[in-house]
Amino acid sequence: MEKNRTSQTNNRTGDNSGGRSLGRLILQLHRLERRPQTFGSAGPLTPSEIHTIEAIGTEGGILMSELAGRLEITKGAVTQLIVRLEAKDLVARSPHPEDSRGTLISLTGKGKDAHAAHEEVHRAFYNQLQEQLTEQEIEVFDTCIEKLITFLKK
């Protein structure tokens, strides 16, 4: 049934403009993901670094293994990111208070500043989006984004 609806939609438009638009969106996101940006006093951060800071900041303190799961990357990749962020004085490691095998990762003051600045970028983006779209368009946009995320995870 879903396939029929999709093919009817494509036949109705008579072109692949949706596919081209999606391709342009993916290309633009790929470009953004490669470009370091400055957040607060942290200096230039790669997207991987700021996403790691975001995940740590959301939790307040997180185990390395949990961070790897949240970011959907290997523990080795998380270790490399944490080493880079420690060198920039954005995160700190501390022993887990209840499990001596675990290491908690938390944000330093500078890391919290970067996290807050990143959150502000998200808020500003969403506010700009709200100014350009109706409430109904935002609901459709959010639904489409969630479906796209689910599709891309397959």
Residue 116 belongs to a domain: yes
Would you call 45 exposed, middle or buried from its count of C-beta atoms within 10 A (0-12, 13-18, 19+)? buried
pLDDT at residue 9 tops 70: no
Would you call 108 exposed, middle or buried from its count of C-beta atoms within 10 A (0-12, 13-18, 19+)? middle
Find all residues with CB under 8 Å of 41, minimum gap 6, and list them.
110, 113, 114
Residue 89 belongs to a domain: yes
Strands 44-45 and 37-38: antiparallel
Region 9-25: mean pLDDT is 65
Domain with 115 in it: 36-153
Q: Which of 54, 53, 76 is nearest to 65 (CA)?
A: 76
Q: What is the pTM of this model?
A: 0.72
Residue 23 belongs to a domain: no
Model confidence pLDDT, tens digit, residues 48-92? 999 999 999 988 889 999 999 999 999 999 999 999 999 999 999
Provide the number of structural domains found in the chain.
1
